[in-house]
Structure 1
Amino acid sequence: MNLIVVSDVLCVTVVQGQNGWSVNYTSTQICALKGSTVDLNCTYTYPSRVKDNDTEVERTFWFTKDSNYVYVDLRTDSEYSGRVQYHCDKNNCTLRITDLRESDSAEYKFRFITNQPEGEYTGSLGVTLTVTELKCHSSCHLSDGSSYIWKKNGQDISGQTSNSYSGNFDSTDSYSCAVKGHEKFPSLSLLVVDSVVFCVTAGHWGVMYSSTQICALKGSSAKINCTYIYPSRINDHDIEIKETFWFTKGPDNDPVNLSTDSEYSGRVQYHCDKNDCTLRITDLRESDSAEYKFRFITNQPGGKYTGSPGVTLTVTGNIFI
């Protein structure tokens, strides 16, 4: 009996604009779990002056509904009451939706309004959010009355007996399921990171990337994020992390640390906190277009792991309208 849980996510950066006005979404397709929290991100630009008048931003908001060019701010939408937060800093704005519902599946767009005549702009291609349940599926035919067992971090979750998991998800906790009476055949463990589900490899070694496809402009900066996991003990010995780094060159068994690569000299920063690690590359060049992977090394013999496939970064000097 094979038990599996499936969740898909696709992340693509889109650059769009006209005469200096633009809204760029970090991802245009996001899949998230019911009951979890999701962040939708964008960056917006506008001309600093129009006809000798300085441009000032007067209002920013996200929406899903519009009628005859009347846009409904999500913060005033009763369906999202108490579940929506904005975090805007300079020209970046993030929408956070908590306690996700399947009815939240929609296309989300960002809009900003300035003091200029007709100085309003909406990103025409928004972010399509799909909210789905975490379900337990079996390759065997089961009766409609079958009962299921769910575990979080290896511990039984009381009250969860259906094939659909209901409840809030905690970041970096792992989940698995089994048919009651067949507990010897559980599903693979799944790790929830930022509302996205990742399959945890056997032995609980893994690297999960927030996005697998990133597009950035020449001269700008890019951030590549990952979360990694590993067993706490092997053969009665505690596991300790000795080294973490990112790379693009060399085989997986002997990769070259980016921080020592002369082509990236002075342009690479690592920020690692617990099991999260971010690579920041500044002053991007088109030659930086490559597949980036994260690697961690432990104190165990052979205790090395690389997340594969990695994150494909595409650096371009073109803006498409």
Structure 2
Amino acid sequence: MNSRSAARGFLAFLLSLPALKGQPGWAVTYTSKDVCALSKSTVDINCTFKFPTTSGNIPNNVSPVEYTPLWYTKGEKDEPENLKEDKAYGDRIEYICEGLSCDSSSCNGMCTLRIKELRKEDSENYKFRFITNTVKGKYSGVPGVTLSVTDQVKVSFPSSTDPTGENMECHSMCSPVGGFKYNWFRNGQYEQQGMYYKVNINSQDNYSCAVEGYKQLRSPLVYAPRTPSVTVSPSGEIVKGSSVTLSCSSDANPAANYTWIKEHEDSGGRSGQNYTITNITSELRGNYCCQAHNAIGHHNSTCFFIEITSSSQTTAVAVGTIGVLLATILLLVFLWMRTKRASRTSGQGGRPDPMELLQH
């Protein structure tokens, strides 16, 4: 084979290859490479595309030029799986594609993938592929568009120096161009619009926010701590020299922090949900209260009184209890024996009255 024949063969091989990314005249351009959307909402992923009306200087001679759109997340770019055939999407998928605009050298088009009722599992990388009725007219736009689906709308608390109120901020994990508009709710009822809301310290109400138009996707409720409860371990009498742990808990969001205070003490309290007192002495006797507090407010518990019992008192009480128990047992045994003796006597000369037995 001479060099001219080899060149012709190589050219024929190139013309037989499918169109690849980067080949002159072929392109898919996405409006954005990353898209974030709220679950249960609808999202549009847009792209434009173009391809030449000639293949290797050979006119396609197809009129009118037509194409078949295809969006995919699975499979290779030359053998992708059409989203419309994916049961996970069902009728939530829609292709909105315009007709081609062609001139003597190229054709241009637009196509949108619309996904309704978004789910978190829809978070994927989406790519567009088109197949034309021209010679070797196939092309996939990679790497595609990454979609992130979230339902996370949250309330945060920027630092504040106002002792009477606290600023709350509503924000979403998504940050779309232009941002979202937010609505605020107090006790489930609409209050106002805006990213920020000022709440009075120690308000007993609850608050939430949502992206405008998606009130069903509200943030978790935030509220000041409810009345804390106190438990003690071990339960029962507290003996001098022993240890005891007080625990405090409260329903709150944001989660509460805790401070323990002993009544009639000027010194600062101790922080922590649990407060352990070791080697208890009579000086530690008294009322102990906990305060639950968060950014919105605080609430105090009912105080728990620690009464100290000495070990000698405990021993005396225990001995006294044992003595009473033994005396009761002896009395029962004595009565049983008297009853048994009376039964023998009645077998010989008549049955006696039980009341008489007890009076002897």
Higher RCO structure, 1 or 2 (CA under 8 Å, sep 6+): 1
Q: Give the TM-score of the pair, scaled to structure 2.
A: 0.37
* Greater C-alpha radius of gyration: 2
Point out the structure with the larger strand share.
1
Q: Give the TM-score of the pair, scaled to structure 1.
A: 0.41
Point out the structure with the larger helix share.
2
